[in-house]
Structure 1
Amino acid sequence: MKFLLNIDKVFRELLLQEDTDNDKKITKDDNGPKKFVLVDEKSKQEQVIEGTYHLSNLLQELAMLRESNIQIGEVDLNRIQEKPVERISRKIKEDYWDELTRTIDKKGLTQIIEDEKTSSKVPTLYVSAKDKKGVDYFRELEKELINFKLEILPENYSVEYVDTLNAKPGILALALEQKLYSLQGVPFVVPGGRFNEMYGWDSYFIGVGLLVDNQIEKAMAIAENFKYQIIHYGKILNANRSYYLTRTQPPLYSSLLIDIVKYKVPSLDWLRSHLKIVILEYNTVWMVQGNRLTETGLNRYKADGVGMPFEVEPGHFDDVFEPYAKKYKLPIREFEKKYLERTLVDVELDLYFVHDRSMRESGHDTTNRFINTCANLNSIDVNSFLYKYEKDVAHLIKEYFNGIFQIEDVIYTADEWEQKALFRKDKINELCWNEESSMYFDYDFVNKKQFPFEAAATFFPLWAKLCSEEQAKKLVEIVLPQFVMSGGITGSTQASIPNFPKDVPQRQWDYPFGWAPHQMLLWEGLINYNYLDKAQEMVYRWLWLITKNAVEYNGTIPEKFDLEISSHKVFAEYGNVGTKFDYIAKEGFGWVNASYQYGLSILNDNFKNELNKLTSPEDLFEQ
């Protein structure tokens, strides 16, 4: 049923009555009557719209019509009365993925370079000298658009060279592909909000969501841009900005390939070209002794670069800088400026930032687990990821290349990759498994002992399938309850937090915060070990949290949640991306969108019905 309305008039009346806090949304925090009468312009028929959720849906539908400059238009009441699960999922599939898609080419460059991170009047685009086609393309584009400056990265740049780019930070080019009439950028999907670039591990989880939504070409495009980054920048970057050139991300490229071929094997040539680069990344990024490979035979996160990371906002490190500012008898802002410019050097502080940069490479920025210690740790997460790399490479060689894969004059066999995985599994069990706690911990290879921080990464071995059945049983029955809250699992246990001084900042990847990648890896891990009922429960808890917040807050889908209060209202460190919009949420947040679609693909119909009713997890599951 459709109502013909004066769009702008109804829009203004609705906001005046219901948006009592003037935040350009209709939420549970507003104090309006939560009841609005629609009158059809033609028939004068009336329809009462009641409740926060339905009123916010009405606001969103009106906002879309206003943006289309429609003065008198039809509002579909079915859209307003749409069940929450169906509405959220539909908008992710039909709208949000497209809203978050970017290209670096003539059509899409402006959207990338003119964002809130761009400080100079003429933004800089960096292209690798190795990319001859890209250099030629962007040189011509620079003449035509005039709104950016092109810089060419030398083929073998140093860490010191990257530091010089902080004076003129910019975006890094990604892959181009030949279309019928022109070169075009290979698309990528950004997380959203201020994260308007291609992020490393975000892109993997986004790819999972795209595959669920049958957007296979976009998932393949993510793989193409992974390949491009490894060839031209030496690694899959934290993100494609100049100040991330010294930093990679959690290794998930092979997992993306495995997921893609489950849906469709593009071609053996395509798969061969990517498997070569997966092996290149494994050998050159992760298995170089003394860098990310340690004497134990296990790996660590270890970013290059010196001093304070460029991307943080002024004041972020005030708690760290304060004693050093006193030491050098400088005001804290002046000390920060001198340290960032490297006109003042402190060896002890530099070591702190080795760990800080490495923590950011891990994706867990920030957590007390990695503060001032990350580069000393054989972390359970990176070694779980690399175990899966080894198993994935073995699987792909065996299944698609008859057990033998040749790169130039080097021959790889599936058996040798199985042996790599077996070695890593044995080492992880020797150094990281703690029988007393029934948990995996990071191993401090400098001090030769486990680092007993109880983090959600302890479940990553379930996802990687490196646990024994007995270990999996202990993780699920003994450890998981320590992380579970109404809306999913927290980044760490509450018990880990009191071990740190009370005056340090609350870290966003620790208790009580919940993140999509932790949930998604846990779900798959539970399924791997046949804990199917528990997987249903954990999916339900997270999707309930997303659905509840979207229903109560005008469709908000944020970056993360506070699981202590089951809310998107997070005030730790960087705030929460995906919560700032007017009238209508247009993009959600990349990996939370993905977790919703992936979770729905697992959840049974009975639980989907309960989700639409917002039945609390406490009413469905015994604690």
Structure 2
Amino acid sequence: MILKVNIDICLNQLLAQEDTDQDKKITIEDKGPKTFNLASISGESYTVAGTYHLSNLLQELVIAKNNGLKIASLNTEVIEERPVERVSQMIKNYYWNGLTRTMDEKGIVSLIHDTKNESLASDKLRIYVPFNDLFAYHYYKGLEAKLPIETFKLPEAITPAFVKSINIQPGILSLKLDSAGDKTIGVPFVVPGGRFNEMYGWDSYFESIGLLIDGKVDLAKGMADNFQYEIEHYGKILNANRSYYLTRTQPPFYSSLIREVFEITQDKIWLKNHLKTAIKEYETVWMVQGNRLTENGLNRYLAEGIGFPPECEVGHFDSILKPYADEVDMSIRHFEKAYAEGQIINKELDAYFVHDRTVRESGHDTSYRIEKICADLNVVELNAMLYKYETDFEEVIKHEFNGLFEGYTPSYWEEKSKVRRNAVDKYLWNEEEGLYFDYNVKTKSQSLFIAATTLAPLWAKLCSEEQAERLIYKAIPMLKERGGIAGSTKRSRGEISENRPQRQWDYPNGWAPHQMMIWKGLFNYGYINEAQELIYRWLFMITKNAVDYNGTIPEKYDVVEATHKVFAEYGNVGTDFEYITQEGFGWMNASYQYGLSLLHNSYREKLNNLMPPEALF
């Protein structure tokens, strides 16, 4: 049935009746009658019943209003759409659009109003441009006459000292621009969502998995093209394209991204161009001895900045600074200022902030697994990712470039991967436990903290069949919760932090990238039933929360309680919206589409009926 309704009248009546807590959403926490008579302007009516269908009505009214309409033609079949189909189609047709950005004039206009700029001393957005990108420099200079922006050219050599010097005047970093006739357009990219209004490193890869599934190949290709721009101009794939991230990279997924894009486009010229850059990143970012490469042949994260991470809010480090401030009889704020300006030298704090920034480079910010020791760790997941780089290079050169690329042969990369695999077996694999652990290069010992990352070698095909079997049957029961895989075991978190604040990457929270890598890893080794269960648990949690909470799709979940109500540092991005979420959350959207693409059809009907996982497994 199609009903024509006056949007404002219907919206006001619906909210007055059903939004009893006045948060401009309709959720299970509202105390309305949960049934609404939807009346058309021609006198027809339709009864909408239940939280989920009422929230669908609210969303459809707001979508029509946002499109500039006063009268909406509402299809009751859309209001009654089944949960799985609705979540999936909203991601495909609505949320990706809400997350898409560019660094051209249109994109700059939206960045000017970004909340990260509200605390800046200047009322102008600072745009930093690479030394050699004169095209971008002149383009942004030309925009200064009509937009409140200032354009600055970065030095040819970007040092940690330079980055610290501009931390009091942070800005956005340019990404790739293209020319279309006489028009300049930004190569598009997808942001995580919420307060994250820039292109993030590893988020971009996982988002691209969802984009490719949804047929948005140009967007995924744009992500890879912007990765390439960052490597060529900033020396690395950045934590994100903000000036204070110039000394920080992110977990490496570039080789995976370009392979997956190429599988669809079959554009060998594009592949050749990107493969060259990926090898450059591998060699210059990861394989420089003494930097991110340690003496044992394995890798670590190592952010290269100086001092405080400037993206943190005032007071974030007060508990760390207080003992040092008390020691010299200063207030925390005075001590903080003196330390930041170099008036106080403190080697212990210097070391602390090396680890703190490195935690942020690892993407796992924060976790008790790596807190205060991150720069000393050969972490399992990083070495799995770099093993995949090596095997990706081997396979692509062998199958797409006739066994020779820029002087590299498949056997060269095969040897690299063998060396790494042997080192992983020696330092990270624990034969007695049947698990992979991070290795501390200073203490020469494994860290026995059990995290979801112990399963990362499955994703990279780094395990032997015997190791995979032991790992799966040991790790998954310890990490599996109602909503999927937790960031760590409860015991590991408790041993370190029983009476300390939760860290968001630890138990009881679960994250999309962990789930997606684990699913793929299980498929790699033929553990299909185990994968189906984990996929179902994760999709059930997302679907149930979307049904009960007005379509909410957040950054992370408490997988123990299977809820988006997470009580940890930084809150939960993606939950603060009115009427309708415009974006969901990037990698969460992708995990839903990826999970659905892998889930057996027999489970889809059960998911639509919100059958709890404990009734199935």
With the shorter chain as reference, the TM-score category is: over 0.9
Structure 1 counterpart of 2:318, which letter? D
1:116 corresponding residue in structure 2: 115
1:270 shift after superposition = 1.0
The 3-state SS of whatever aligns with 1:108 is: helix
* Aligned-CA RMSD value: 1.2
Deviations 1:197-230 (A, max 9, x none): 0000000001111111111111111110000000
Within the alignment, does 1:141 sit opposite 2:143 as a pair?
yes
2:415 corresponding residue in structure 1: 419
1:332 corresponding residue in structure 2: 332
1:91 shift after superposition = 0.9
Check 1:502–1:331 CA distance in 2 against 1; reply closer, same or farther (3 A cut). Answer: farther
Give distance in 2, aligned partners of 1:374 and 1:116: 30
Give distance in 1, aligned partners of 2:395 and 2:184: 34
1:501 shift after superposition = 4.1
1:362 corresponding residue in structure 2: 362
2:157 corresponding residue in structure 1: 156
Deviations 1:166-188 (A, max 9, x none): 12100000001122332211111
Within the alignment, does 1:380 sit opposite 2:380 as a pair?
yes
1:21 shift after superposition = 0.8
Give matches, 1:205-604, under 5 Å. Answer: 205-266=206-267, 268-406=268-406, 411-604=407-600
Give distance in 2, aligned partners of 1:475 and 1:146: 55
Give distance in 1, aligned partners of 2:241 and 2:411: 35
Give distance in 2, aligned partners of 1:604 and 1:134: 48
1:591 shift after superposition = 0.1
Within the alignment, does 1:45 sit opposite 2:44 as a pair?
yes
The 3-state SS of whatever aligns with 2:116 is: coil
1:503 shift after superposition = 4.2
Give distance in 2, aligned partners of 1:384 and 1:72: 54
Moved more, 181-190 or 287-296: 181-190
Structure 1 counterpart of 2:274, which letter? H
Structure 2 counterpart of 1:585, which letter? T
Give distance in 2, aligned partners of 1:432 and 1:68: 54
Deviations 1:493-523 (A, max 9, x none): 0110122244432100000000000000000
1:26 corresponding residue in structure 2: 26
Within the alignment, does 1:187 sit opposite 2:188 as a pair?
yes
1:67 corresponding residue in structure 2: 66
Give matches, 1:98-109, under 5 Å. Answer: 98-109=97-108
Structure 2 counterpart of 1:110, which letter? V
Aligned 8 A contact 1:292 1:300 in 2: yes
Gap regions ≥5 residues in structure 1: none
1:111 shift after superposition = 1.1
Within the alignment, does 1:613 sit opposite 2:609 as a pair?
yes
Give distance in 2, aligned partners of 1:564 and 1:106: 44
1:249 shift after superposition = 0.3
Give distance in 2, aligned partners of 1:40 and 1:139: 53
The 3-state SS of whatever aligns with 2:167 is: helix
Check 1:209–1:363 CA distance in 2 against 1; reply closer, same or farther (3 A cut). Answer: same
1:135 shift after superposition = 1.6
Aligned 8 A contact 1:114 1:123 in 2: no
Deviations 1:21-51 (A, max 9, x none): 1111000111111111112221x23211111
Aligned identity (percent) is 54
Aligned 8 A contact 2:201 2:249 in 1: yes
Give distance in 2, aligned partners of 1:480 and 1:195: 31
Within the alignment, does 1:15 sit opposite 2:11 as a pair?
no
Structure 2 counterpart of 1:128, which letter? P
The 3-state SS of whatever aligns with 2:72 is: strand
The 3-state SS of whatever aligns with 2:166 is: helix
1:69 shift after superposition = 3.8
1:330 shift after superposition = 2.0
Give distance in 1, aligned partners of 2:477 and 2:498: 25
Give distance in 2, aligned partners of 1:362 and 1:113: 29
Moved more, 562-571 or 314-323: 314-323
Aligned 8 A contact 2:368 2:497 in 1: no
Give distance in 2, aligned partners of 1:538 and 1:204: 21
Aligned 8 A contact 2:130 2:156 in 1: yes
1:433 shift after superposition = 0.4
Give distance in 1, aligned partners of 2:532 and 2:15: 39
Give distance in 2, aligned partners of 1:461 and 1:113: 42
1:606 shift after superposition = 1.3
2:85 corresponding residue in structure 1: 86
Give distance in 2, aligned partners of 1:457 and 1:476: 12
The 3-state SS of whatever aligns with 2:178 is: strand
Aligned 8 A contact 2:483 2:561 in 1: no
Give distance in 2, aligned partners of 1:186 and 1:240: 14
The 3-state SS of whatever aligns with 1:500 is: helix
TM-score normalised by the chain length of structure 1: 0.97
Give distance in 1, aligned partners of 2:562 and 2:342: 43
The 3-state SS of whatever aligns with 2:577 is: coil
Structure 2 counterpart of 1:16, which letter? A
1:265 shift after superposition = 1.4
Check 1:340–1:35 CA distance in 2 against 1; reply closer, same or farther (3 A cut). Answer: farther
The 3-state SS of whatever aligns with 2:144 is: helix
Give distance in 2, aligned partners of 1:614 and 1:198: 34
The 3-state SS of whatever aligns with 2:408 is: strand
Gap regions ≥5 residues in structure 2: none
Aligned 8 A contact 1:4 1:75 in 2: yes
Give distance in 2, aligned partners of 1:139 and 1:4: 49
Structure 1 counterpart of 2:451, which letter? A
Moved more, 443-452 or 322-331: 322-331
Aligned 8 A contact 2:129 2:174 in 1: yes
Give distance in 1, aligned partners of 2:125 and 2:137: 17
Give distance in 2, aligned partners of 1:27 and 1:421: 51
Give distance in 2, aligned partners of 1:288 and 1:200: 20
Aligned 8 A contact 2:554 2:585 in 1: yes
1:573 shift after superposition = 0.6
Give distance in 2, aligned partners of 1:498 and 1:235: 36
Give distance in 1, aligned partners of 2:497 and 2:84: 41
TM-score normalised by the chain length of structure 2: 0.98
2:167 corresponding residue in structure 1: 166
